[in-house]
Each structure stands twice: as structure tokens, then as C-alpha cells.
Structure 1
Amino acid sequence: MKTILVPTDFSKNALHALQYAQELFKCERACFFVIHAYGEEVYGAYKTVAKEKIDELKEERKAQTQKKLDQMVNSVIGEPSNPLHNFETVASFDSLVDAVNDFVDEMNIDLVIMGTKGETSDHNTTFGSYTIEVFKYVKCPVLAIPEDFEYRQPNAILFPTDYLLPYKRRELKLLGDLAGKFKSKVHCLYITDFDELSPRQADNRLFLEGTLTRAYLHFETAPVKNKVEVILEEIKKREAGMLVMINSRHSFFEDMLYRSTVDLLGLKIKIPFMVMQNIKR
């Protein structure tokens, strides 16, 4: 059974992410944990609330959060409900990243799915600060769903990689399961000006082939230029329904995050974006 964690701030895009998660795993046994972290709501009010009132405020926020979580879940269960799906709610007095990370560890979560804002939002990037923090620090694959994305099966998945990372088998298995279920083509894209792989890269590519046995793998290269532009061009060319990248120290993904290039990608990407982690769990 898949265990899926869906953080919510009770916005439209968070609800959309939960609905997408239900569709993605429609034919699988899955438990969806819907979590809201309300710690910052209490801490934010600390300056204007007397110290002796904090515990009272915590209990009040917890009750409000639980009520909203129940309402959200009830709105998506459907009639009749999917017998393969279970839903549980989590009200956490913590920050978002800490709440998500702790729950990922506690319940051995397979995937975090969260909503992102569209171009018409008040911000000028799809990936808000909370999404970026979850991408970077949560020890679990994270799938971000654009606000306006209408669900469709990911028949083609774009996977940019330089073959330098020692991939984690559990992370790749998730990708392989998704690709196998939908009979997806996985386009492994290497952005390079070199013709040959190093021995290390060749070994990692062989590991990909041996692990992603359920996927239809395609190995492709593209010349080096603006990497974000290359990715966006390949998404359009392959009609990709999902973008997958790996977050690791000194990786292209980390480079994007720290140099804010992800803002450009986040503003223009129109498909779900899954970030896999390269750390032990």
C-alpha cells in the first residue's frame, strides 16, 4: 500500500493536489495523510497575545485545524468512495517543513504531494518559498502540482540527469512503478557537449536500466546552453506529463535552487514536477 502525505493550507491549490493524488493512485491501495502545520499561526500571534493565553490559543487553533481538515477530506471522498483509499488527518503544532519531515520519518511515507501557485497568483513564481523548502529539506520524494494542471496520465516523463549521482533504489522504484503503471516513456536527458560517458556515469546509467525495468527508457542528449530552456523545450517536444529531477548536494537541481533559476522554471512549467532525494532513509 502506498502512503501519501498531502500538506494543506486549505487553499484551492492544496485541494487540487489532493484530488490529483487520488487520480494518480486511483487503482492502487493507498493511504492519504492530509496534514496542516499550525505552529506559525500561533507563534505569529504571540506578539499580540498575553503569554498566559498561548495554551488557550494553541487549543483553539488545533480545534479549528481539525475541523477544516475533516471538511476537506469529506469534500473529496466522493460517492461512492474508492474502496482502495483511506484518509487520515494530521493537525501539527509545528512549522511546515519540520511537521512534514517528522511525519515522513514516523510513517515511512512514500511520496509527498503538494499544490503550487499558478502564474495568475500574487507571486511571480509557481514555486513559493514553502514549496522550495520542502523540495530541499524533506527526506522523501516530493511531487508539486501546478494549480491549473488538469489531470492526465503521464505517458511521457522527462528525467534530466548527468549520471553522476549514485541513485537510491527506493527513489527509482517509485518512478519505475509510476512509469510501469501508465506504460510511460521515460526520457533520460543528459545535457552535455561530450560524446562519451565516464566509467562512473556508465555504471550509473546501467543501474538506471537495471532498476527502471518497468519503464520504456529512452536515453537522449542535448547540447549545453541555458539548461532551463533545454528542459522546457524537451517537455514540449516529448509532450511530457511529468518532470522528474534528483536533489543532491552539488547537483544541477541544487544549483538551480541557490541561484534562483528555479524561479524561471517554476513560472513556465505547466506539468507536475517530482523531486527525488538522494539521501538515506
Structure 2
Amino acid sequence: MEKRILCYTDFSENAQNAIDYAVQLYNQQTCTFYFLNAFQADADASDIEALIPDVENDIFKSEKKTSETGLNKIINTITLKYKNNKHNYKVLSSYNALLYALKDSIKTNAIDLLVIGAKDVFDNQEDRQIPTLDIMEYITECSILAVPGDFKFCSLTEIVLPVNYEEALLETSFSELLNLANLYNTEIQILHIKKEHNLDDNQLENKTKLEHIFKGLTCNFHTLERMNVNKGINSFVENDRCNLIAFIGEQSNYIGNDLPRPLLKELDTHLSVPVWLINR
């Protein structure tokens, strides 16, 4: 089945790195990549409201030309660099606020995955880019992959999957994860940060379900006690074999409200590997 992937770009090196990562990650799958650039003629325009273009405005014309030229350059670069006949590329130049442009593009093109580049720090007051954290909280229509600017794709050796064993688990929620894990023969490290003394019957049942879901893959279960969620996750990230942190949208309230916000804040500061939020 063809996968439809939306890659947002502001033409920065950070955004280009995320595009390169996604194209390589899915190099074995049939995909259509949509490269989106959202532009505005007014620097003070809203970040979340739809904009109505004045097509005769000189600033609009200039920004539109810059957007379209930049997008076509990306397609030319990617096509020459990767030469993958399983991949098709399309461009979307949108005169709109970023969040509105993302939501509209996802709906119109039936997008499966949104790929964004994550900056190391978002505290530069002159930088108007919307933080990765806000995008990941605002966009719920598809899964989201956030790639740190200095992370280069090499393989998918190990995925860390934080869970709490509390929510009902459906195999369909893990289909995207299983697909990639099987392609790359990836090891799954399931991580539970323990706050209770013992798992209750429901949690034990869900743990057994996970064992069944990941049957056939190398899957290890880990339990850490009395540890901050981010510290526990980062202890796995520090292992050079870890290539990705994934968590399921249904478990976004993992351990109270410790996830996803504090984990995603780590992405905004110093998290060193991609984070994949699987929304279903």
C-alpha cells in the first residue's frame, strides 16, 4: 500500500535533514512525498488562522515565487540524490499560517505521516518558527515524525517504546511500527517507568498482548523504578544502538501527564534521536 508523507520545509538545513531522513527511512516502500512550504506576506499575521491572499500584492508575488522556486529545487535535489522509482514527489506552496497549512494539506491529501525538523532550541525571540512541541500537540490527524537537526539516517537498529500497560492495546495501533521493524529487523525495547508496587491484572494482560503483538521480532521488556520519565527514556537513548523513540497516541497521557509534553520538551532542547508519535 502506498504511503503518503508530508514533509514541511522552511528551506532550512534542519528541514532538509528531516526530508533526507524520511526518504531514506522509507526507501523500500512505495511512497508519495508532499513537500510543503507555508508563506505569508504579512510578518504579523496570525499563526493559526487561515489567510486570504491578495494576488496583486507585490510582497505576495515575491513570497510565492520564492516558495515555489525553493520547493522545485528540493525535488530536483532529492530526485538526483536518491533515484528511487518507488517514490513520487509533489510540491505544496501554501499562502497560510503554518498550522492551518499543515492541517489543510493533511486533510486534502489523505496524509499518513507528517515529517518535521526539530530545532535544538526554540528560545530565540527573533525566530518565528512554531515549536515542535506545539505542532505535535496540535496535529492529531496523522502520525508525526520529528527529526533533530543533526541526526542522520543510518539504519533502524533499535526502537524504544515507552508504555504504561494501562490502556487497551490493539494490534492495529502498532501496524506502522511493525511494518518498519520487520523491514529493518529492528529490536523493540519496551520501557515501563514503574510507579505502582506491582502490575495489576489489567496491566499484566496488556503486557502479554504486547508480547503477542511483537512475536517474531526481538522484543525486550524493561522496568525502571522511582525514576523521572525523561531520565529513564534518555538512559536508553544514550545507547548508541537506539535510533528512534516511538509512542502511541492512545498512551499520550502515560504516567499521569508526564508524556508527551516533557518528552517533547526534551526534543526542543537536547534529545538526540527522532521521536515518532503514532496517532491512530
Taking the aligned partners of 1:243 and 1:80, their CA distance within structure 2 comes to: 26
Quick one: which amino acid aligns to residue 223 of structure 1?
A: E
Of all paired residues, the percent bearing the same amino acid is: 23
- Match for 1:64 among 38, 63, 66? 66
1:94-109 mapped onto 2 (5 Å cutoff): 94-109=96-111
In the TM superposition, what whole-angstrom CA distance separates every residue of 1:93-117 from its partner, at most 9, and x where no partner exists? 2222222222223322221111112
Q: TM-score of the superposition, structure 1-length normalised?
A: 0.82
Once residues 239 and 263 of structure 1 are traced to their aligned partners in structure 2, the CA distance between those partners, rounded to angstroms, is: 22
Cα deviation 1:243-266 (Å, max 9, x = unaligned) = 1123456435954565x5643454
RMSD (Å), alpha carbons: 2.9
SS in 1 for 2:238: helix
- How many angstroms apart in 1 are the aligned matches of 2:242 and 2:86? 28
User: Is contact 1:176–1:213 with CA below 8 Å preserved after alignment?
Assistant: no
Number of equivalences: 267
| Other structure's SS at 2:54 match | helix
Cα 1:4/1:265, change in 2 over 3 Å: closer
1:44 aligns with 2:46: no
Q: Which residue of 1 aligns with 2:276?
A: 274
When residues 8 and 253 of structure 1 are mapped into structure 2, their CA distance, relative to the original with a 3 A threshold, is farther
TM-aligned CA deviation for residue 150 of structure 1:
2.0
Q: Deviations over 1:55-95 (max 9, x none)?
A: 32344433331121111111121167211111000112222
Measure the CA separation in 2 of the matches of 1:46 and 1:244: 34
More helix as a share of residues: 1
Q: Secondary structure of 2:191's partner?
A: strand
For 1:137 and 1:200, the matched residues in 2 are separated by 31
Q: How does the TM-score come out when normalised to structure 2?
A: 0.83
Structure 2 equivalent of residue 54 of structure 1:
54
Alpha-carbon offset, residue 159 of structure 1: 0.7
Q: Which 5+ residue runs of structure 2 have no aligned equivalent?
A: 47-52
Q: CA deviation at 1:187?
A: 0.7
Aligned to 1:112: 114
**Partner secondary structure for residue 246 of structure 2:** strand
TM-aligned CA deviation for residue 134 of structure 1: 1.9
Aligned twin of 1:50: none
Structure 2 CA distance for partners of 1:206 and 1:137, relative to 1, 3 Å: farther
* 1:1-281 alignment runs, 5 A limit: 1-38=2-39, 41-44=40-43, 54-57=54-57, 58-78=60-80, 81-118=83-120, 123=124, 129-138=130-139, 139-167=141-169, 169-194=171-196, 196-213=198-215, 215-237=217-239, 239-248=241-250, 250-252=253-255, 255-256=258-259, 262-264=264-266, 266-277=268-279, 279=280
SS in 2 for 1:44: coil
Q: 8 Å contact 2:30–2:87 — kept in the other structure? A: yes
Identify if the C-alpha distance between structure 1 residues 188 and 107 changes in structure 2 by more than 3 Å, giving closer, same or farther: same
Any conservation in 1 of the 2:118–2:268 contact (CA below 8 Å)? Answer: no
